[in-house]
A and B are shown apart, each in its own frame.
Chain A
Amino acid sequence: MTDSKYFTTTKKGEIFELKNELNSDKKEKKREAVKKVIASMTVGKDVSALFPDVVNCMQTDNVELKKLVYLYLMNYAKSQPDLAIMAVNTFVKDCEDPNPLIRALAVRTMGCIRVDKITEYLCEPLRKCMKDEDPYVRKTAAVCVAKLHDINPTLVEDQGFVELLNDLLSDSNPMVVANAVAAITEINETRTVVKMNLQTVNKLLTALNECTEWGQVFILDALANYDPKDEREAQNICERISPRLAHANAAVVLSTVRVLMKLINMLPENSDFITQLVKKLAPPMVTLLSAEPEIQYVALRNINLIVQKRPDVLKQEMKVFFVKYNDPIYVKMEKLDIMIRLAQQNNISQVLSELKEYAAEVDVDFVRKAVRAIGRCAIKVEQSSEKCVATLLDLIQTKVNYVVQEAVVVIKDIFRKYPNRYENIISNLCENLDTLDEPEARASMIWIIGEYAERIDNADELLESFVEGFHDENTQVQLQLLTAVVKLFLKRPTDTQQLVQRVLSLATQDSDNPDLRDRGYIYWRLLSADPAAAKDVVLAEKPLISEETDLLEPSLLNQLVGYIGSLASVYHKPPTAFVDSTRAPLRGAPAAASSASTSSATPAAQDAIIVPTGTTTAAPAQPTVIPSQDNIIADLLSLDLNAPAAPAPSFPQTSTSVIPGLDDLLGGFDATTSSNPSIGGFSGLDILGGAPAAPAAPTSSSAPLGDLFGSLGGSDTGSIFPTSTGLNGYVAPKTNWLDATRGKGLEIQGTFARRAGTIYMEMTFNNKSLVPLSDFAIQFNTNSFGLTPASPIEPHVIQPNASLEINVPCRTNGPAAKTEPLTNLQVSPFLRENEINVVLAQNLILNSTKN
C-alpha cells in the first residue's frame, strides 16, 4: 500500500476522474480522492480546477480529511481568492470547536492563507484563540500573529495583537512563551515593536529550563539582543544559561555560546568567573565537530570567529581540527584555516607534519590551501620558518605542477618576512622556472629574481627569457617583469642596459595597456632624470609583511561575535550587509569579497587605497581640468571604482602604509583600473590630472617626482592639465560623515586635507540637539594607512544649533593594520559617554590619500 497508486491515470483524464470521486457519497472514496489530489499537488501538477469540489469536503468530522483539505487550501487559496471565501465560515466555526486540536488547526491554517479578504475574518477568532484556555491553542495563535504580520503588518498593530503577544510572554506555559518570543523576534526584524526589559528577561530565563529545545533557541537568541545594565546582571544570566552548553541539540549549544560570548565582554577581564566560563566553552564546541558535516561546517565558521576573539579557548584542542580524508571538502578547508590560527610554537611541528600530509592528497584546491598554509606557518611562527622552508623545498621536489606553483608564491612571502635568510634556495626555485604557468606564480618568481638579482648570476638571462614572450603574458606578470628588469638594471647597470631599454620600449610603445605604459614611462623618466633617485625609489627597503593577514578587522570581529550562530557568522559579514534587500547593502565592500586569504592579496588591496584617480566626488571638483568631458569621466570612473576589484594583481614591493615610492602609487593605480581596460584611457589621463598630489608623497624623492609629473603632463598630453598647484593640493569638499539622527544630535561633516606635508582631518561639528555638547575625543581604528590623530581635540563646548570647525593634525606613523576591509577608515568621536562610530565610505579614503 503505497502512495504511488495515486498517480495512476486513466484515459478519460485525471481531473475528470477525480472530480467524480470527490463528489462521491462514500467517505472512503472521498478521502482517497483528496489524497490523490494532494499527491498531484505535491509534485507540482496543477489541480486548482478542483477547488470547489475539494472545499466541499471541508465540512467533515474526520480530522485527517480536514487536514488534507486544509493543505489543499493553503496551496491554492491565493489563486482562487473568491472561492476561498467559501471556506471562511467553516474556519470560524472550527475556531469554536470543543476539540482544541481542531481550534488550533483552524487558526493555524487561516494564517497560512495569504488572501486579504480572509485575513480580515481572521482577526476575531485569532484574538479569542490568544486567550484560549488550552495552551496548545495559545501557542499556535502566537505563531499566527507572526504570519499575519508578514501579510499585513499594519493590521497587526492596529488590532492590538502586539500587546496580546507581549502578554503571552508572561504565560504560565513555557511552550507558549517560547512561541511568543519566536513571533516577536520575527516581527522585530522588520520593525522593533517589543523591547526586552529586565522583567521579561527573567520570565524568559525561567521558561528556558522547561521549554522544548527549539523554544530554547528562540529564547537564547532573544536574550542575545538584550543588554544587561550591569556586571551583576550579566553574570547572573551567564550562570543561568551555561547549563545549556550540555544540550544535545547543536543549535541550543551555539546560541548559548553566542549569549555567553556577548556577556563576557561586560565582565571584568581576568576574573575567576571568566576563566571558569571560558573553560566551559571549549568542550561543547569540540563536540559539535563530531556531529554531521553540515553542523561541523557552521560550527567551524563560528569557531573561526571565536578563536580570533579569544585564542585561549581552544588552544589545547588542535588535534580535533586535523583533517580526515573523508571529510567533505568544505569542512577540510575550514579546519585548515583554524589549524593555522591555532598554530603556535609548541604545536608547530605537529601542524607542519599534518600539512605536509595534506599536500599529498588528491583534491587540488585543498592541496593548494595546505601549501599556502605552510607558508603562513612560517610567517606566523618564526622558529618554524626553517622547517617550513625545508618542507616547501621537499614539496617542490615532487614536481607536481600546482604544488610547485603554490610553493613559489608562498616562498616569495617568506622572503618578504625574513629577508636575507633563505636566499640559498633560490637556485632550487630557478630549476622549476619552466613549469610555472600560472600568472601569480610567474609574477612571484619574477619578483624574486628582480629582488635578488645581485645573487643570481644568470638573472639577466632568466629575465630575458621572460621578456621574449612579453606580449603573451598576463598584465600582472608584465608589470612585475618591468619592475624586475629595472631593479636588475639598477643593480647591474653595465651589462643590462639593452635589456632595460627593450622592456621599456615594449611597455611604452607596443603595449595597449595604460597601466603598463604609465609605469614604463615613469621608470624611463626616473632613470633618465636622476638614476640616484631611481635607486632610492625602486630599491627602497621594503617593510616586512605582517604575520596574520587574513584576520578580520577588529571592529567587524566584535560585531560578528555578537552574531554567533547566525548567517552573519557563517559569512563573516555584518547582517546589514545582506539578507534584507530593503536595507541598503554595504557598498564598496569588494575588498572584503575577495576573501583570498593570502598574504599576497594584501598588498594589492592596500594599493587600492592609494589610487590617485578621482572618484565621483572628486571629479566634479575638477571641472576646469577637462571641461568638455568631465561628466563622462566622472561616470566612467565611478563605474570603474565600484566594480569589484577583479583579480587584484599582487605587488610584493608595495605593501607599506607610508607611501614609499613611485611604483606604489602606480601599483595602486592599476589595482583598480586594470579590471576595465576600455576606460583605462581616461584613467590614464586622470593620473596626470592628479599630478599635484604627487609632490606630497612623504618621501625624500618627492621633489623630482613633482618635476617629473609636471614635465610629463606638459610634454605628453598638451596643456589641458594645469601645473602643480603647490604643496597643498586638492582638498575634497566636506561630506557628511555623521548624520544628526545617528549621532544623537551631533552632525559631523569632514574631509582630509594636506597642508605643508601634514595630513589634517578637517571637521565641522554641528550641534543639532537641544543641549550643549562637550567633551569630544577622537579615536581612529587601526587602519591601513597607520593614520592616527597627532593631538587630541581641544576642549570645546558647542551650544545648540552652533557649529564648530575642528582641525585635527594626523600622523601616519601609527600602527598599520593589514586587514580586510581595507578601504574603510573608522573614526570614533566620543561624546560624553556615548560613543559614535563613523565609518567613512570608501571614496573619502581615496580622496584623503590623494592629498
Chain B
Amino acid sequence: MINSLFIVNTSCDILLEKHYKSVIHRSICDYFFDVQKKVEHPEDVLPVIATPHHYLINIYHNQLYLVAVTTTESPPLMVIEVLHRIVATFTEYFEECSDATIKENLVIVFEILDEVLDNGFPLTMELNVLQDLIKPPNFLRSIRNQVTGETNHSEVLPTGQLSNVPWRRAGVKYTNNEAYFDVIEEIDAIIDKQGATVSAEIQGYINCCCKLSGMPDLTMTLMNPRILDDVSFHPCVRFKKWENERVLSFVPPDGNFRLLSYHIGSQSMVAIPIYVRHNVVMQSGPAGKLELIVGPKQSMGKTLEEVVIEMNMPKPVLNCNLVPSHGKYSFDPTSKLLLWNIGKIEPGKPPTLKGSMSISGTAELECPAISVRFRINQLAVSGLKVNRLDVLGESYRCFKGVKYVTKAGKFQVRT
C-alpha cells in the first residue's frame, strides 16, 4: 500500500513528507516534478506515474499535490480515494486545504496523517472518529486548554472504532432534535452550436444534516424510487431493504454526511432549463463581435438564479467592450476569462450581452466553449421527491425538512 506520502505545491516545494514504512528519500519527487513541469495546466499531471522502482499516485487539489509513493502492486483507486479523503479531512479541520493552511497547522497535519494510515493501510478515516481523536484547532478551545491544561487529544478509545455502526458515536445528545435533507441535482450537459443537446446527465446527491440524540433508526420513502437505478450509498444504508422494498433504512452518522448519490444517465431524457444563444465573430482588429442571449427553457415554473456565464477567451483577445442588459460582466486581460454574472433571470425580457472585442494577430481563432452556472431552488429536475421520513428507536419528536436544488454541473455550450 502507501509507502510514503509527500505534499508538494505547484512551485515544486515539498511541504511535508510522511513515511509509513521504510524511508524513501524525497528525491523521488524529482520524477514527479519532471512530469509536472511538462504539463500546461497543473491539473493535467497524470495521476499514476511510473518511476524505475516506485509508483507515484497523486491527486491535485487547490494548487497542492498529494503524492503517494508505493513499491508494490496496490489498488490505485484505493490510494486515490484515500488521498481525496485526506484532503476532505484537512478541509474539515482547517476550512480549506491549501498551501497556507497546511503550513500553519503542520503538527496537526502530521498527527492526522499518522492517525489515518497505519503501515500504509487506512486506519481511521471516519471523520467523526478522527475528530474524537484529534480535536480540530479552534480558538475557543485553545484558550480553554491553556486554562485547564487539557489537550487536543482524547484519552479514551473512540467509541465508533469498533461498533457495528462505526460511523456513529455513542451517547449523542441534543436538546433540539432535527434532521434536514438536501436533494441536490447537478446537470452535466453538452449543448451543440445549434442548441441541440449532445449529452445530458444528472448527478444527484442527498446530503443530510442529522442532529438526533441516541441511536435513531430512520426510514425514508421516496415518491418515485424507480428513478434511482444507479445509486451509491453511504455504508449506513441497509442495501437489502433497498433492493427488496425500495425504502432507505439507516442509522445516520452524527452531523453532516452524504446519504447517497445517484446518476441518471444519458439514456433518459433530461430537461434542460436554460438556453444560450450566441453569435461570436472572432476577427482580428476591432471587428471582433460577441452577442449572447440567455433565457429559461422548460423551467417548470421556477426561476433561474445565480446564473453565471464564463468563457475562456483565446490568448489573442486583448480586451472586450461589452454592454450587459442585466447583471455585471468582467474580463480579466491576463487570465482571459470573460465572466458575466447575471443573477436572477426574471420572466420577460431575456438578458443579453453585446459588444465588440479587440483581437491581435491575424490567425483564425476558434471560439471558446461557454460554460454556464445556474441554480433553481425548490426543484429536483429528475422529479425525485421524498415522501416521508420516520424515526424509529427513539421516542422524541424531531424537526424534519427537505430542500430541493437543481444546479448546473459541467454544463457547457459549444460555439
B107 in contact with A298 (CB, 8 Å)? no
The distance from the CB of B218 to the nearest CB of chain A, in whole angstroms, is 17
- B151 CB within 8 Å of chain A: yes
Q: Is the CB of A2 within 8 A of B104?
A: yes
Would you give the shortest CB distance from A242 to chain B, in whole angstroms? 10
* Interface positions of A from 98 to 148, Cβ below 8 Å from B: 99-101, 108, 111-112, 114, 134-136, 140, 143-144, 146-147
Give complex CA distance A316, B267 in Å.
Answer: 8
> Please, how many angstroms separate the alpha-carbon atoms of A214 and B122 in the complex?
7
Chain A: how many interface residues by the 8 Å CB criterion? 103
Q: Which of B13-21, B209-217, B372-380 contacts A (4 or more CB under 8 A)?
A: B13-21
Complex CA–CA separation, A361 to B40 (angstroms): 15
Query: Which residue of chain A has the shortest Cβ distance to B18 in the bound complex?
Result: A42
Q: Give the residue name and chain of the A residue nearest to B114 (CB).
A: A71
* Cβ contact within 8 Å between B81 and A580: no
Given A114-B22, A579-B71: A101 and B157 interface contact (C-beta under 8 Å)? yes
Task: Tell whether, in the assembled complex, residue A210 and residue B164 are in contact, meaning their CB atoms are under 8 Å apart.
Answer: yes
Across the interface, B21 reaches (CB within 8 A) one of A100, A150, A298, A354, namely A150
A283 touches B229 (CB 8 A): yes
B406 within 8 A of partner (CB): no
**Cβ-defined contact, A579 with B104, below 8 A:** no
Partner of A44, one of B26, B55, B82, B164: B26
A526 at interface, CB cutoff 8 A = no
Given the known inter-chain contacts A316-B267, A579-B71, please indicate yes or no for A186 contacting B1, CB distance below 8 A.
yes
Q: Which residue of A lies closest to B58 (CB)?
A: A294
Report the nearest A residue to B166, measured CB to CB: A212
**Cross-interface CB contact of A143 among B52, B74, B82, B121, cutoff 8 Å:** B121
B266–A39 contact, CB under 8 A? no
A294 to B83, CA, bound (A): 10
Contact, CB under 8 Å: A67 / B114: yes
Interfacial residues of chain B within 55-99, with CB under 8 A of chain A in the complex: 55, 58-60, 71-78, 80-84
In the complex, what distance in Å separates the CA atom of A568 from the CA atom of B203? 30
Task: Tell me, yes or no, whether A455 is within 8 Å of chain B by CB.
Answer: no
Task: Report Cα–Cα, A328/B59, bound state, in Å.
Answer: 12
Per DSSP, chain B at the interface is mixed
A851 interface residue per 8 A CB criterion: no
Stretch from B43-51, B248-256, B347-355, B384-392 contacting the other chain: B43-51
Per-position contact with B for A21-52: 1 when CB-CB < 8 Å, else 0? 00000011001000100110011100000000
In the bound complex, residues from chain A placing their C-beta under 8 Å from that of B149 are 27-28
With A67-B153, A249-B81 as given contacts, are A297 and B47 in contact (CB-CB < 8 Å)?
yes
Choose one: B44, B46, B59, B107; the contact of A38 (CB below 8 Å): B107
For B263, the chain A residues whose CB sits under 8 A away are 283, 286-287, 290
Q: Which of B173-229 contact A (CB under 8 A)?
A: 188, 190, 192, 198-199, 201, 203, 229
* Given A43-B106, A173-B162, also A324-B122 (CB < 8 A): no
Partner of A283, one of B78, B240, B265: B265
B99-153 with Cβ < 8 A to chain A: 103-111, 114, 118-119, 121-123, 125-126, 137, 139, 142, 149, 151-153
Please indicate the chain B residues that have their CB under 8 angstroms from the CB of A175 in the complex: 161-162, 166
A290 touches B188 (CB 8 A): yes
Scan residues 297-348 of chain A and give those whose CB is less than 8 A from a CB of chain B.
297-299, 316-317, 319-320, 322, 324-326, 328-330
Which residue of chain A is the closest to B261 with respect to CB atoms?
A: A248
Task: State which of B26, B50, B125, B137 has its C-beta within 8 Å of the C-beta of A212.
Answer: B125
B394 at the interface (CB under 8 A from A): no
Q: How many residues of B contact A (CB 8 A)?
A: 104
Which stretch (A230-238, A436-444, A570-578, A783-791) binds chain B? Answer: A570-578
Q: Which residues of B contact A221 (CB under 8 A)?
A: 75
Query: Chain A's interface: helix, strand, loop or mixed, by majority?
Result: helix
* Closest chain A residue, CB of each to CB of B61: A292
**A325 partner, pick from B80, B152, B412, beta carbons under 8 A:** B412
B72 pairs with A186, CB closer than 8 A: yes
- Please determine whether A136 and B75 come into contact, CB atoms closer than 8 angstroms: no
A374-389 CB contact bits vs B (8 Å, 1 = yes)?
0000000000000000
Measured between alpha carbons, how far is A39 from B230 in the docked complex, in Å?
A: 46
Bound complex: CA of A138 vs CA of B239, how far in Å? 29
Q: Is the CB of B139 within 8 A of A1?
A: yes
Check B119 against A143 for contact (C-beta < 8 Å). yes
A182 at the interface (CB under 8 A from B): yes
Cβ distance A171 to chain B, nearest Cβ, rounded Å: 12
A324 touches B410 (CB 8 A): yes
Contacting residue for A247 out of B52, B82, B119, B232, CB 8 A: B232
Q: Closest CB of chain B to A632's CB: distance in Å? A: 30
Docked complex Cα distance between A248 and B259 (Å): 9
Query: Contacting A214 at CB < 8 Å: which of B43, B125, B190, B201?
Result: B125
Min CB gap B258→A, angstroms: 7
A360 CB–B CB distance under 8 Å: yes
When chains A and B are docked, how far (Å) is the Cα of A221 from the Cα of B73?
11
Q: Mark out the residues of chain A between 133 and 189 whose CB falls within 8 Å of any chain B CB in the assembled complex.
A: 134-136, 140, 143-144, 146-147, 150, 173, 175, 179, 182, 186, 189
Tell me whether A284 is interfacial, beta carbon within 8 Å. yes
Cβ distance A523 to chain B, nearest Cβ, rounded Å: 43
With A and B bound together, what is the CA distance between A136 and B159 in angstroms? Answer: 10
Residue of A whose beta carbon sits closest to that of B143: A1
A567 to B18, CA, bound (A): 22
* Cβ–Cβ contact A71 & B119, under 8 A: no
Residues of chain A within 8 A of B267, CB atoms compared: 316
Q: Is A467 an interface residue (CB 8 A)?
A: no
Chain B hits for A249, CB < 8 A: 81
Q: How far is the CA of A329 from the CA of B45 in the complex (A)?
A: 9
Q: Is the CB of B190 within 8 A of A217?
A: no
Contact A567 B77 (CB under 8 A): no
Q: Give complex CA distance A354, B314 in Å.
A: 21
The yes or no answer to B371 lying at the interface (CB within 8 A) is yes
A295 touches B118 (CB 8 A): no
Task: Determine if B152 and A64 form an interchain contact, defined as CB atoms under 8 angstroms apart.
Answer: yes
* B72 partner residues in chain A, CB cutoff 8 A: 186, 189, 579-580
With an 8 A cutoff between CB atoms, is A425 at the interface? no
Say whether A732 faces chain B, with CB atoms less than 8 Å apart. no
Kindly report which residue of chain A lies nearest to residue B263, judged by CB atoms.
Answer: A287
- The reply to whether the CB of A565 lies closer than 8 angstroms to some CB of chain B is yes
B81 and A42 contacting across the interface, CB-CB below 8 Å? no
**Do residues A330 and B47 form an inter-chain contact, with CB atoms below 8 A?**
yes
Chain A residues in 8 Å Cβ range of B47: 293-294, 297-298, 330
Contact B151 A31 (CB under 8 A): yes
Instruction: Determine if B245 is an interface residue (Cβ-Cβ < 8 Å).
Output: no
Indicate if A270 sits at the interface (CB-CB under 8 A): no
> Which A residues are in CB contact (< 8 Å) with B21?
147, 150
By a CB distance below 8 angstroms, the chain A residues around B78 are 214, 217, 251, 255
A6 interface residue per 8 A CB criterion: yes
Bound-complex Cα distance A82 to B248 (A): 58
**B154 is an interface residue with CB less than 8 A from chain A:** yes
Binary interface encoding of chain B residues 245-281 relative to chain A, with 1 for a CB under 8 A from any of its CBs, else 0: 0000000000000101101011100000000000000
State in angstroms the CA–CA spacing of A788 and B71 once bound together. Answer: 40
Q: Which 10 A-B pairs have the closest CB atoms?
A: A283-B230, A64-B153, A319-B266, A251-B78, A214-B122, A2-B104, A319-B199, A294-B47, A248-B232, A64-B151
Query: 15 A-B Cβ contacts within 8 A?
Result: A1-B137, A1-B139, A2-B104, A42-B18, A42-B109, A42-B110, A63-B155, A64-B151, A99-B156, A136-B157, A290-B203, A293-B43, A295-B80, A317-B266, A326-B410
Extra A-B contacts (18), CB below 8 Å, given A44-B14, A250-B80, A330-B47: A2-B105, A3-B104, A28-B149, A62-B153, A63-B153, A64-B152, A114-B22, A134-B157, A253-B232, A286-B230, A295-B81, A298-B76, A319-B201, A325-B369, A325-B412, A329-B40, A579-B73, A581-B52
Interface residues of B (CB under 8 A from A): 1, 14-23, 26, 39-41, 43-44, 46-48, 50, 52-53, 55, 58-60, 71-78, 80-84, 103-111, 114, 118-119, 121-123, 125-126, 137, 139, 142, 149, 151-157, 161-162, 164, 166, 188, 190, 192, 198-199, 201, 203, 229-235, 239-240, 243, 258, 260-261, 263, 265-267, 314, 366, 368-369, 371, 410, 412, 414
